[in-house]
Amino acid sequence: MSATSTGLRLNALLAEAGLEPLDGETTSRFEVYLSLFIRWNARINLSSVRNEEGILSLHLVESIAVARVLPRGIATLLDFGSGAGLPGIPIAICRPEIAVTLAESQGKKAAFLEEAVRVLGISAKIHAGRAEALCTEFDCVVLRAVDKMPKAVAAAVRLVAPGGWLALMTTGAELEKLKAAAGPEFSWPQLLLLPGSSDRLLALAARG
């Protein structure tokens, strides 16, 4: 695919999911991000999804959908165990008013995040270490495909500011375990089915 056709395909997939298309500048940034993703993925295994269509339809459309439904008023966000920057980099692209921190403990993946942020010109920060080591509280903490997810959720909740949000990209089968890990301080006002799936969802929890 050429860069132009990649952007057209991404917007077509968004339309199929019932989502508004991206503007030209935002589309161009996603084209650059995808190109970097594919190039680095061949070397350091950012994702088991290797082909462009799969990355577009699974990773990018899903992350763009999450960026758009995060509540207004969020000023700071932590992508806990960011990996390839999903969903943190799409959030930083789509919601530039949010100061995004990408926490990734694996050195090679953190190096990819540094390069992606530099090339894309977004204002995200990189924490090249375990998210649990952070002392800062955030308006929103998001987790997606993190190893030992219940344990990660239990660690993440202390990083959510009072009145803030926990955003979990998970499956219906895992949700009750994750709710238990988050604890009684959180209420769960919103569950949203993610595009292209009958089971993957975004669970938004508000801290009392």
51: pLDDT confidence band, cut at 50, 70 and 90?
A: confident
With beta carbons less than 8 A apart as the criterion, state whether 204 and 140 touch.
no
Per DSSP, the residues of 59-89 read: IIHHHHHHHHHSPTT--EEEEET-TTTTTHH
How many separate domains does the chain show? 1
| pLDDT digit string, tens, across residues 54-113 | 899 889 999 999 999 999 999 999 999 999 999 999 999 999 999 999 999 999 999 999
> CATH number, domain at 176?
3.40.50.150
State whether residue 196 is helix, strand or coil.
Answer: coil
pTM over 0.85: yes
* pLDDT tens-place string over residues 120-168: 999 899 999 999 999 999 999 999 978 899 999 999 999 999 999 999 9
